[in-house]
Amino acid sequence: MQADKELFRMIVIALALEVIGITPQIELIMDLIGSDYVNSVKFRKNPAIREIVDVSSGKFRVKSSILAKFILMSLEESTLTVETLIEALKGAEARERFNHTHREIFRKLIDHSNVQNVLPERNRRANTIKYYESIKNLRGTAKNPYFWLQYAIARMALKEYKEAEFYFETAYGYAEGTPWFQTYQIDNHYARLLLEKPVHDNEPENCMDHFRRAHAILVKQTQEKRRHYAYRVAANYNPFYFHFQSRLGSKDHDYIMSCCREILNSIIQLPMERKRDRYILDCKNRLEEVLASGV
């Protein structure tokens, strides 16, 4: 791979496709990176090719998405890997209006949950920022609220809350002009930012303002019954409370306790199968821990 740059790029894309759940076919990979390498003599005569490619079906032999993720995250050649992934996303974006597979690849390679699984661990922060900065002005991303939400989530994962807040505002701004886009996803992650930021920055002065805004979002989401999302974020009441516990006045203390009870009461009303959701169970345990500390 290191001796053959084109082969390296092919394998990076093949592994990335496997991680995001797309069958890594040679023709698709060549289409994404705009290469005719597969038809070259160098490709056909490379003895390693038959070990990693099923020539008859035109598919890469990738054992599993777990192995693919491990290899990608372990690569030391992080610069070429990131540049290749950027090139693949641009290739998918150029064709996504005409092809369902390209459209799916484009959307999945924007999603932070996938991006963090295909970028190498080496230089993770720099590569994450380079990746999103390199694709933010594409036709399919520049005014796409979903893209800006994912960039905000990426910055939040790096604990860069100021930058994340800016990208949340950008996502909200473009969502206003996109009638089909529902903001509950932005709302949910923004509530998480409101709970995490004051803890990370150790800001007791305005922490309760952040908490009240977050709780208002999450209570609304529990009423709308949007799966486990609100409860997964509400579990953050626990670290928030214990971080600021000694600096809270009695009214603020009582308010947080009442909010915990409100979320727990909504869990009680859920159907039994939803109560078994691991995020909801975790939320329940964490909020009960908060209430127990106040007895």
Q: Which of 13-27, 44-58, 78-92, 233-247 has the lowest mean pLDDT?
A: 44-58
- Output phi, psi for 144, to 5 deg: -95, 110
Residue 85 pLDDT class (50, 70, 90 cuts): very high
Considering the entire predicted model, what is its pTM?
Answer: 0.91
Residue 34 pLDDT class (50, 70, 90 cuts): confident
Number of Cβ within a 10 Å radius of residue 31: 18
Single out the residue in 123, 146, 161 at which a domain terminates.
123
Average pLDDT for the chain: 91
* Ordered DSSP codes for the chain: -TT-HHHHHHHHHHHHHHHTT---BHHHHHHHHT--GGGSHHHHH-TTHHHHEETTTTEE----HHHHHHHHHH-S-HHHHHHHHHHHHHHHHHHTTT-HHHHHHHHHTTSHHHHHHHS-STTHHHHHHHHHHHHTTSTTTTT-HHHHHHHHHHHHHTT-HHHHHHHHHHHHHHHHT-TT--THHHHHHHHHHHHHHHHHHT--SSHHHHHHHHHHHHHHHHHHT-TTHHHHHHTTHHHHHHHHGGG--HHHHHHHHHHHHHHHHHHHTS-HHHHT-HHHHHHHHHHHHHHHHT-
Residue 249 pLDDT class (50, 70, 90 cuts): very high
Domain co-membership, 114 together with 231: no
| Angle of the 278-293 helix axis to the 250-268 helix axis, nearest 10 | 150
Domain co-membership, 189 together with 287: yes
Domain co-membership, 110 together with 225: no
Domain co-membership, 111 together with 220: no
Residue 84 pLDDT class (50, 70, 90 cuts): very high
Is residue 162, in this structure, part of any structural domain at all?
Answer: no
Position 48 pLDDT exceeds 80: no
Q: Which of 91-105, 196-210, 261-275 has the lowest mean pLDDT?
A: 91-105
Is residue 224, in this structure, part of any structural domain at all?
Answer: yes
| Rounded distance between C-alpha atoms, residue 256 and residue 293, angstroms | 12
Q: How many residues does the chain have?
A: 295
Domain co-membership, 208 together with 288: yes
| Domains contained in the chain, number | 2
Is residue 173, in this structure, part of any structural domain at all?
Answer: no
Single out the residue in 108, 123, 138 at which a domain terminates.
123
Is residue 163, in this structure, part of any structural domain at all?
Answer: no
Domain co-membership, 196 together with 278: yes
Domain co-membership, 226 together with 117: no
Domain co-membership, 118 together with 210: no
Q: Which of 65-69, 85-89, 137-141, 153-157 has the lowest mean pLDDT?
A: 65-69
Domain co-membership, 116 together with 5: yes
Single out the residue in 85, 107, 123 at which a domain terminates.
123
Amino acid making up residue 227 = R
Predicted local distance difference test score (pLDDT) of residue 26: 85
Position 226 pLDDT exceeds 70: no
| Contact between residue 235 and residue 287 where contact means Cβ atoms under 8 Å apart | yes
| Rounded distance between C-alpha atoms, residue 76 and residue 268, angstroms | 49
Is residue 31, in this structure, part of any structural domain at all?
Answer: yes
Is residue 167, in this structure, part of any structural domain at all?
Answer: no
Is residue 129, in this structure, part of any structural domain at all?
Answer: no
Is residue 138, in this structure, part of any structural domain at all?
Answer: no
Rounded percentage of the chain residues whose pLDDT exceeds 90: 68
* Full domain range(s) for residue 238: 182-295
What average pLDDT does range 202-231 have in this prediction?
91
Domain co-membership, 189 together with 106: no
Predicted local distance difference test score (pLDDT) of residue 56: 65
Position 143 pLDDT exceeds 90: yes
Domain co-membership, 193 together with 285: yes
Report the Cα 274 to chain-centroid distance in Å. Answer: 23
Domain co-membership, 290 together with 187: yes
Predicted local distance difference test score (pLDDT) of residue 110: 97
Strand blocks (E) in the chain = 53-54, 59-60
